[in-house]
Amino acid sequence: MTFMKNIINVVNLSKSYSAGIKALDDISLDVGKGEVLVVMGPSGSGKSTLIRTFNGLESFDTGYLEILGIRLDPNGDEKNIREIRKRVGMVFQQFNLFPHLSILENITLAPIKVQKRQKIEAQEHALSLLSNMGILSHANKYPSQLSGGEQQRVAIARSLALKPDLLLFDEPTSALDPERVNEVLDAMRDLAKKGMAMVVVTHEVGFAKEVADRVLFMDAGRVIEISKPNIFFQNAKEERSRRFLNQIIK
């Protein structure tokens, strides 16, 4: 698959914590338009820290990023961060829905407040997204009335409501009961089929095999390997990658 251009460029990115621990260690990578990059690695390897830099939620010390052509340097230009967040959606482990707002209100809040869209337009788009996610009947319910899988699909719809050019997923199924995982993965598969560029931190091997264009494996803040899924899962290039896979694939 050939990508027209990169929508993410990461150049020599590093971040250290006060104890001298390197969360990110001289990382360089790119993500193409329409690409699905799956990020895997053990706990504490820097996966979440990395993707949180892509929308300014995490700072860094050296190097730079270009997200959708907008540059981020270590000083964290707030204007550029705001511009990126208008075009980049993020779905977290915990659903982060406002409990006092209905599902419809959760989804329309940002388009109305941030993008200044008309309420009726925002609502129509939100209802269309809920329909695509298979949860239109829940539009007037509150988050506490939904299952975990349903809440995560609402969170995805909320991210899509801003009509993003890129979606980031930080272990979106890790907080779900096992029987709810496929509900969310199916929604993500559908987005991939429609050409949505995504960076997905996950340990869902089946999803990665089916949907990823490339798999990035991290350990100790470093990129160990970036390979196509058929190579990564069948004959990973690096010994560290193979040891990780032996642990998660039984």
Decide if pLDDT at 3 tops 90.
Answer: no
- The DSSP annotation for 82-110 comes to HHHHHHEEEE-SS----TTS-HHHHHHHH
Instruction: Give percent above pLDDT 90 in the chain.
Output: 74
Tokens (6 digits) for 200: 């997905």
User: Residue 153, CB half-sphere, CA atoms under 13 Å: how many?
Assistant: 26
Q: Which CATH number fits domain 6-97+163-248: 3.40.1130.10, 3.40.50.300, 1.25.40.10, 3.40.640.10?
A: 3.40.50.300
Q: Distance (Å, rounded) from C-alpha 198 to C-alpha 188?
A: 9
Mean pLDDT, rounded, for 119-143: 94
pLDDT at 168: 96
Note whether 225 and 241 are within 8 A (CB): yes
HEC secondary structure over 11-60: EEEEEECCCCCEEEEEEEEEEECCCEEEEECCCCCCHHHHHHHCCCCCCC
pLDDT at 95: 83
pLDDT digits (tens, 9 = 90+) for 55-69: 999 999 999 999 999
Instruction: Name the residue with higher pLDDT: 77 or 106.
Output: 106
Mean pLDDT, rounded, for 126-140: 94
